[in-house]
Structure 1
Amino acid sequence: MKSNFSHFIASVIAVPAGLTAWILSSNVFDIHMFLDVMIGIGGFGASYLPAQHISHKKHLEKLKLTKSEYKYIKEQLAHAKEHTNRLRSSYINIRSIKDAKMIFDINRIVKTIISSVEEEPKQFYSVQQFFHSNLETAVNTIEKYLYLYKMPGKSKDERIQLHETRLSMLELKRTLTSNLSHMNQSSYQDLNVERDLIKMNSQRAKKRHAALDNKLGKEKVNLNKKRKPEKEKVHRGEENG
């Protein structure tokens, strides 16, 4: 989430203001050095806080989120990143190619959802189940599965249980894929609208082009009709001569 942008804008405004206050205090008012520095810091703070507030407010208006919603989504993203760090650290326990492929696919889906919400926070509401339960369940299951899988001396029942756990992980992968598809549903709807607009504009352009061709064709016929009497007049003049 691009929350640092408001801090950057506020700093761009506040730094020159603070320097100006410090220079005026030290050169014009000729106060003690410590007080000059404090005035400069005060000028920075007095400029930074309102500028940051206004910039952040505009950013929230653009995202169509309230301050509390933005804060909550930011917290959920922080928790999600903790889970992804755990997922990455579990790579060292992978012991088979098929497990590696499955876990890498799950991680790719997870990263895609998180980065999409970071880019457009309002999408969080279409994948709340992912943040509230699905992601944590997937990470916990993968960690336990990989830990038990590498243990030697497994019994037949334990191997069967691990196999069943792997099947449940594949189901988890399908669930995460469903979360991603649901999140992208509005984007596909927007894409359909754009496609319909392109089709409509193309049809209008074809109609305008056809109408223009008809108009030019009629004008050409009219010009030909006007030219025929002139030719007849010329022939009559030659006959009289």
Structure 2
Amino acid sequence: MKRNFSHFIASVIAVPAGLVVWLLSSNVLDIHMFLDVVAGIGGFGVSYLPAQRISHNKHLEKLKLTNSEYKYIKEQLAQAKEHTNRLRSSYMNIRSLKDAKMVFDINRIVKTIISSVEDDPRQFYSVQQFFHSNLETAVNTIEKYLYLYKMPGKSKNERIQLHETRLSMLELKRTLQSNLSHMNQSSYQDLNVERDLIKMNATRAKKRQAVLDNKLGKQKINLKRNEKSKVKEKLHRGE
């Protein structure tokens, strides 16, 4: 899955550690060259394993997943990518524009779901049916349909069966769209919350502006009154 840098971080820590152990072994302790190399490898391993484990655990903590959950989702994604490779290779058997559009639309939905789960593995639990059955069913049906569609000399009954299969594929497409919509439901809820916050902030800003305008208006009135009183005082004094 994406954004798991535990192996990279562990390597960054372990490589210098292994080099330091090797240099100490070869220059300070003056051991045999073969043992120096073994000591360097041992230093790398001793540094790499705990560093990788700590980094990986932090990554899991950030994702709010257990290690077993993470491995299971990773396996499901690997299987899903195998299905997408099969789906991509099925383009070679397409013989009509309407079938090309249908397969393209299905492939786009599939890639979107997989990419979203790669970015946020917790999304897997909102589209489990997609990974457990819907994707494999869609790929198997498309492969068989396209293979039989390109065969020559089809009977009337066979053409009817292919037509009915295509209708079922369109239903599969709607099912996959439903999976995607269900996965995005929480994001739309968050979007609604953000939209409500924007409206609330805009309303508060308008109220603050109205209060400020009211204060400025009162200040202007007071200034005018003060100026008039000063003019009256000057006139009274005969200035």
TM-score (ref. length: structure 2): 0.97
- Structure 1 residue 4 displacement after superposition: 4.3
- Structure 1 residue 124 displacement after superposition: 0.3
* Letter paired with 2:27: N
* Letter paired with 1:171: E
Instruction: Give the corresponding residue for 2:13.
Output: 13
**C-alpha distance in 2, partners of 1:227/1:3?**
69
Asked whether the 8 Å contact 1:14–1:43 carries over to 2, the reply is yes
SS at match of 1:37: helix
**C-alpha distance in 1, partners of 2:210/2:4?**
54
**C-alpha distance in 1, partners of 2:21/2:223?**
80
- Deviation readout 1:173-201 (Å, 9 max, x if unpaired): 00001100100000000011111111111
Distance change >3 Å, CA 230–CA 67, structure 1 → 2: same
**C-alpha distance in 2, partners of 1:75/1:214?**
64
**C-alpha distance in 1, partners of 2:145/2:230?**
97
Asked whether the 8 Å contact 2:90–2:143 carries over to 1, the reply is yes
SS at match of 1:76: helix
Instruction: Give the corresponding residue for 1:216.
Output: 216
Instruction: Give the corresponding residue for 1:177.
Output: 177
* Letter paired with 1:84: T
Superposition pairs for residues 1-241 of structure 1, below 5 Å? 1-2=1-2, 4-238=4-238
- Deviation readout 1:99-149 (Å, 9 max, x if unpaired): 011001100100000000000000000000000000000000001101111
- Structure 1 residue 237 displacement after superposition: 2.6
Provide the aligned C-alpha RMSD in A.
Answer: 1.0
Asked whether the 8 Å contact 2:10–2:52 carries over to 1, the reply is yes
TM-score (ref. length: structure 1): 0.97
**C-alpha distance in 1, partners of 2:151/2:230?**
105
Asked whether the 8 Å contact 1:3–1:56 carries over to 2, the reply is no
* Letter paired with 1:36: D
Between stretches 230-239 and 118-127, larger displacement belongs to 230-239
* Letter paired with 1:8: F
| Corresponding pairs, count | 239
Between stretches 155-164 and 209-218, larger displacement belongs to 209-218
- Structure 1 residue 226 displacement after superposition: 2.0
**C-alpha distance in 1, partners of 2:102/2:2?**
31
- Structure 1 residue 230 displacement after superposition: 1.4
- Deviation readout 1:157-178 (Å, 9 max, x if unpaired): 0000000000000000000011
**C-alpha distance in 2, partners of 1:180/1:3?**
22
- Deviation readout 1:7-65 (Å, 9 max, x if unpaired): 01111111111111111111111111111111111111111111110110010011111
**C-alpha distance in 1, partners of 2:198/2:4?**
37
Asked whether the 8 Å contact 1:6–1:52 carries over to 2, the reply is yes
* Letter paired with 2:196: D
**C-alpha distance in 1, partners of 2:175/2:98?**
19
- Structure 1: which 5+ runs fail to align? none
Of all paired residues, the percent bearing the same amino acid is 83
* Letter paired with 2:238: E
Asked whether the 8 Å contact 2:4–2:59 carries over to 1, the reply is no
Which stretches of structure 1, 4 residues or longer, exceed 4 Å deviation after superposition?
A: none
- Structure 1 residue 238 displacement after superposition: 2.4
